[in-house]
Structure 1
Amino acid sequence: MMYRVKKRDGSTAAFNIKKVASAIRKAFDACDREYTDSVIDLIALRITSDFEPKIQNSLIDVEKIQDSAEKVLSESGYADVSKAYILYRKQRENVRNITSTTFDYHSVVDNYINTGNQHNKGNTTYSVGGLILSNSASITTNYWLSEVYDEEVANAHRDGDIHIHDLNMLTGCNAGWSLKELIQQGLGGVAKQTSSAPAKHLITICNQIVNFFGIMQNEWAGAQSFSSFDTYLAPFVRMDHLSFDEVKQNMQTLIYGLNTPSRWGTISPFANICFDWTVPEDLAKRPAIVGGVEQDFTYGDCQDEMALINRAFLEVLLEGDAEGNTLAFPIPTYAITKKFDWNDANAKLLLDVTVKTGLPYFANFINGDLKQKNARSIFSGTHFNAKKLFKKTGGLFAYGENTGTIGTVSINMARLAYLAKDEEDFLKHLDKVLDISARSLSTKRQVLASLLEAGLYPYTKHYLGSFDNHFSSIGIVGMNEACMNAKWIQKGLDTEEAQNFAENVLMHVRKRLKEYQADHHELFSIEAVAAGDISHRFALKDQKEYPDMVIAMQGDTPYYTGSTELPIDGNVDLFTRLDIQNRMQEIYTGGTIFNVRLAKNEYDAKGIAILLERIMENYTIPYITLNTCNRDYPMEGYLYQEAVNER
């Protein structure tokens, strides 16, 4: 059979099997593997046989030949040679793309300057700092996709099969830190930088926390968090016999400091703080630490001081800034245990803040398998076990002490389902995308680990040491639309059939993650990612490529629902949503959240307390937040009233 090869520039040439054999020899040589000409010739013939079904109109794309080469080498027991071939292929691509990866700096700068307020979203301000961040983001994204990741990974991202998070930063994603270590060590430990001794007063530790978050945000792309904030800071109040007004002034200093756009790019640090509310059992009998020194009283002796901190913190949030605007950071997460008193004055204040701002997250320690002590030491007394998937603590954005996420990849489930012939075909293609995602995450971990050792993240190196306890996270986007596009379902997640499929898919992903842990000896997690712009990016690409796909719309904007959530404009009531998500959210091991959306002007602090208590007593959903200020959700507003009336 005579056919021609279509090159990357569009030109064609007669197929020559000797060129395939030559490339294979180079891969064997790169691995120092012995071979004979007969072995090379046999592999070349198998490669030819593999890509022959892909020949159309006597033309075969050069990329398809190389895809077959990687596949045949791996299947023939030459996994190391296959990896060498992939690297060789990537290096050749880099040489070809030297001119195309050279940036048009003029257009990058002009694009930011000329689009003005389009950049003024979230906590980002249109400014010269924003311009610096925009320039850096463009260069770094190009570096990851053109110089670090192999072609298959980069194309999967560009084409919209996956989304690699935080490509704009040469850093890890999110991190939780030990507030106890900061209190013991002080702020410093980096050569040629100013060091501060352990704090002896509340105002000092508040300022160190602000500076710590600002510093670490320069070395990480996403959320930074501390656990047991009120527990660890209460001894400072006790030592100095501070009045409530003094505590409130210190909390105001902390909160305003964290909302100052001090992070590079003129944005605020993405700070998260977890509150215990009552002293945890594992800390109650431990000596309190102030000034880096153990005191003659315990954390359990400081419950009254904890209450002062919580009251002061909440009052500052409730008041807002000088113009009454919501103070967006830090995002607080509150531990709701069986000891939580919903009738307490501070609890009412917390609920008032929830009604006004929608900021607080609530951790369900009443039901389910969440353990409060895990927020401080998730891996305490344990060793790496590839057969076990550890669960992160802290909800969607917060993390336990000295753990976090090194990288996150989200998968476009809707497209996979649309293109699949049946469920078996879906799982086959899902496995391929999962393999690509896992490989990209392992690559990122290796790159960042080497940069950590080289000193690129000096404060992370000092306070953390390594990324061994950080997860490689895989998220899913658009499961509801996946079910609607699947030829064997064609129904949304409000149906039993779709829910069963979604649950099976999540369990399948969990199974594969255990395999990746064994292969890479790295921690993996499955996460209900905050889809945001990603869901719009996926949907926009699919709308153009596959016009007959079922895609959710909000006005003229296409989007996919996040993870295994139901559409926000659906007719499913609150408790039905809870029933469905109760099945799904237990399966995730990474970040997850259940968003209770309430109708406008149909709630008060007392009613929200009743609703939250009912949810936590009857469901194992680990983390909950309440959307009380953005838009109407009449069905859920109705169910809220029903819950209140039943009490």
Structure 2
Amino acid sequence: MFAKIRKRDGRELPFDETKITDAIFRSAKAVGGEDRQTAMELTLEVLKMLKKQYNGHIFGVEEVQDMVEKVLIESGHARTAKAYILYRHQRTRLRDSKSDLMDAVEEILEETNRENANVSNSPSAKMLQIASAASKKYYLTRLIPEEISQAHARGDVHIHDLDFYGKTLTCIQIPLGRLLQEGFNTGHGHIRPPKRPTSATALAAIILQSSQNDMHGGQSFAFFDRDIAPFVEDATDHETYQAMEALIYNLNSMHSRAGAQVPFSSLNLGTETSEAARRVTRNLLLAYEAGLGRGENPIFPNIIFKLKEGINLNPEDPNYDLFQLAMKVSAKRLNPTFSFMDSSFNKEYGDQVGYMGCRTRVMANRKGPAVTDGRGNLSFTTINLPRIAIKAERNLEKFYRLLDETFDLTCRQLYHRYKVQAKLKVRDMPFVMGQGLYLDSQSLQPNDTIAEVIKHGTLAPGFIGLAEALVALTGQHHGQSEEAQALGLEIISYLRRKAEEASEQYDLNYTLLATPAESVSGRFAKIDRKEFGIIPGVTDKAYYTNSFHVPVGYPIDTFAKISLEGPYHKYCNAGHISYIEMASPPLHNPQAMEAIIKHMKASDMGYAAINFPVDYCISCSVTGVINQDSCPRCESQEIRRVRRITGYLSTVDRFNDAKVAELNDRTVHSGFDPRG
């Protein structure tokens, strides 16, 4: 009857009516039908209507499918029609995802996706990104419930590390001391316990690398000084320094994840007072201060110096000299960052709280002991606060109603992912689970699921763009108005209560995260600008402001910014960080730097850092602030510019466009002169 049909790509191919019969019969079987004869009769009706409507003209696949739906409904086969429509929708989603995937692959082959500032532009990085793109499409179209998948696509929420949705977990605080004391196996034989400092730090680097190969987030040692101390007890400072230097070199050159990036490594230290532990801290800081082979600023590890009264905060404390050294190194290298063990939410745990460079904090545990070692965040998903505020149209009641809906959806999504993760087996994470890194995993066998182990981890709903949300709701952000600050604290404390309610509802560790937004800061802003247009102070930039921070371009005094952001830390029990920005390294004003850090403590912060430019000429090794395109000494344009992004350090060439825009907007906070 018909010779040709036009496919979706424009090609004209031979018409085959049996495909219509097959589709109708398949839909009928889906609702219990078994009569192929009826499917053939319905096909004849479809052909008659096509002939009547198109009268010899070539028609397309979509027109045929529309006609099939019409015939099924008009013939009284409503259930079959519903199954056919559902099948058609699923096929459309699959086709669209394949098309999007090919577009993504084409883009990646030209330039590595810059969602992650630790991923290079190497061939292995491109292959990893292509696999990532395929994995994301699979999870969004095949595994994740459509309600949640659409919320992610719309920009209501952002599912982080979507490509690893059902493959692994986010991060872990590694029990380094036990692994070094007992030895471990990376898959090719047992590695015995080390005896000297250099061996201990070499194995520490291998442990970080092996763990990252099993996970998609950061790897951290919560008690680096304590855990390495036994191996330096009879070592000299020289031997210890060389071990620490080797560790820093390894962590900036030892690639993992298919060779695409070095481990996201963090080391917590500073509160151990034994001479061996002090030697570890002192020499690690000195080696970090010296930099890499030509004096370059190290990117990793992220060093987190833990501050606590009676241990290192005041001149009479035994580790006060290490605090002074930590500030000196931080004033040159951007690391260490500083965590505060005496904050209202950390104090009950003594000095046991560990952080990660990305800001993650894992401590309380409704399913077992409240410890840091052997635990981490399972996954996190970010809520787009500005989008909810825009939709609320300055109606707070509507804002909270929409916020409830989005937060509840986020918790359902995290629980869905948790159930998927719980089905993984030990052999799927052979180092993290197989070598007993995760709490309670030592008794598991390779074919056991990890369900009973990951209950100790956390599920973290996060948020972004409080500042823009406040502007949408009130016309001002929290740096501009006391009323906006009060509303900001009300919103974030409300989210914390919602997280606690989710913990009760699901009987799991739900915690609230001040999201480390790298790619999502630009993604959300782009989506909302397209839908709502340019709204001054909200969608008029290429990015949304990170978590609860005061906007980076807003002129504000250093101490005022700290005072404003400090109260938010206690609500964000999954992790938080605050920064202040300086024009240059504060090498010559240690007293003022100490005053800033102590004001962070007094403002009840849990984790904080001081930012400034660190530039380095690759050609002649000049280091400093280079405010031009070429080196002032040799005129080379090969300038390595190190900046902090979402907690970790990176070079600016690896920032995505939104983060470059944010970097360019950053203003120096007043009230501090780095020159003294």
Could you tell me which amino acid in structure 1 is paired with residue 130 of structure 2? N
Residue 275 of structure 1 is matched in structure 2 by: 269
- Distance, in Å, in 2 between the alignment partners of 1:90 and 1:176 is 45
Are 2:611 and 1:627 aligned? yes
- Counterpart of 1:473 (choices 454, 460, 482) is 460
Which letter does structure 2 place at the counterpart of 1:401? D
The yes-or-no answer on 1:438 pairing with 2:408 is no
2:189 counterpart of 1:177: no
- Distance across 1 between alignment mates of 2:501 and 2:117: 38
2:162 to 156, 164, 167: 167
Task: Go from structure 1 to structure 2 and tell me whether the alpha carbon gap of 1:93 and 1:184 turns closer, same or farther (over 3 Å shift).
Answer: farther
Equivalent-residue separation in structure 2 for 1:175 and 1:423 (angstroms):
38
Paired letter, 2:93:
N
Partner residue of 1:503 out of 489, 502, 519: 489
Aligned residues: 518
Letter in 2 for 1:491: Q
Query: Take 1:436 and 1:359, find their aligned partners in 2: how far apart are those partners?
Result: 38
Q: Do the aligned partners of residues 441 and 247 (structure 1) sit closer, same or farther apart at CA in structure 2, a change above 3 Å counting?
A: same
Matched ranges for 1:489-500 at <5 A: 489-494=474-479, 495-500=481-486
Match of 1:516 in 2: 502
Report the Cα distance in structure 2 between the residues aligned to 1:480 and 1:633, rounded to whole angstroms.
15
Determine the C-alpha separation between the residues in 2 that align with 1:485 and 1:107.
Answer: 34
Stretch moving more, 513-522 or 105-114? 105-114
Alpha-carbon separation, structure 1, partners of 2:409 and 2:560: 35
Aligned to 1:68: none
**TM-score when normalising by structure 1:** 0.73
**Structure 2 residue aligned with 1:461:** 433
Q: Is the 8 A contact 1:219 1:460 kept in 2?
A: yes
Q: In 1, Cα distance between the equivalents of 2:85 and 2:421?
A: 23
Q: CA deviation at 1:601?
A: 5.6
**Which of 340, 349, 352 in structure 2 is aligned with 1:374?**
352
1:163 match: secondary structure = strand
| Partner residue, 1:363 | 339
Deviations 1:342-381 (A, max 9, x none): 6655444322221122121111124433134433799999
Instruction: Say whether 1:322 aligns with 2:308.
Output: no
Quote the offset at 1:141 in angstroms: 1.0
Note closer, same or farther for the CA distance 1:412–1:108 as it changes in structure 2 (3 Å cut): closer
Query: Please, which runs of 5 or more residues in structure 2 have no aligned partner?
Result: 1-26, 32-83, 356-360, 442-452, 614-642, 644-662
Cα gap change, 1:417/1:326 in structure 2, threshold over 3 Å: closer, same or farther?
same
Q: Output one character per residue of 1:399-443: Cα deviation in whole Å (capped at 9) or x when no partner.
A: x21121111111111110111141111111111111111111111
Q: Which amino acid aligns with 1:501?
A: L
Choose from 197, 200, 203 the match for 1:202.
Answer: 197
Kept in 1: contact 2:472–2:538 (CA 8 A): no
Match of 2:226 in 1: 231
**C-alpha contact 1:598 1:626 (8 A) present in aligned 2:** yes
Q: Which residue of 2 aligns with 1:186?
A: 183
Deviation, structure 1 residue 121: 7.4
Q: Indicate conservation of the 8 Å contact 2:195/2:231, yes or no.
A: yes
Confirm or deny: 8 A CA contact 1:259 1:328 kept in the other structure. yes
Q: CA deviation at 1:626?
A: 0.6
Distance 1:637 1:426 in 2: 32
Q: Which deviates further from its counterpart, 623-632 or 263-272? A: 623-632
Q: What is the CA distance between 1:311 and its match in structure 2?
A: 2.1
Deviation at 1:110, TM superposition (A): 3.6
Q: Is the 8 A contact 2:365 2:509 kept in 1?
A: no
Please name the residue that 1:115 is paired with: 111
Q: 1:324 to 1:89 in 2, by over 3 A?
A: farther
Aligned equivalent of 1:588, options 569, 572, 578: 572
Report what 1:97 is aligned to: 93
Letter in 1 for 2:396: E
The alpha carbon displacement at 1:460 in A equals: 2.1
**Separation in 2, partners of 1:616, 1:569:** 20
The separation in 2 between residues aligned to 1:308 and 1:632, in whole angstroms, is 40
Query: For residues 92 and 197 of structure 1, do their structure 2 counterparts lie closer, same or farther at Cα, with a shift above 3 Å needed?
Result: farther
- Superposition deviation, residue 612 in structure 1: 3.8
Give CA-to-partner distance per residue, 1:221-241, whole Å, 9 cap, x none: 111111111112112111xx2
What is the rounded CA distance, in whole Å, between the counterparts of 2:90 and 2:601 in structure 1?
57
Q: Give the residue type in structure 1 aligned to 2:175.
A: S
Q: Structure 1 pair 121/180, CA: closer, same or farther in 2 (3 Å)?
A: closer
Q: Which residue of 2 aligns with 1:404?
A: 376
- Give, in whole Å, the separation in 1 of the partners of 2:153 and 2:116: 24
- How does the TM-score come out when normalised to structure 2? 0.70
Contact kept, 8 Å, 2:332 with 2:587, in 1: the verdict is no
Following superposition, the deviation at residue 272 of structure 1 comes to 0.7
Cα pair distance change 1:90/1:461, threshold 3 Å: farther
Mapped to 2, the partners of 1:485 and 1:120 lie a distance apart of 27
* 1:481–1:550 CA contact under 8 A, matched in 2: no
Instruction: Provide the secondary structure at the position in 1 that maps to 2:339.
Output: strand
1:551 and 1:559 in contact (8 A); partners too: no
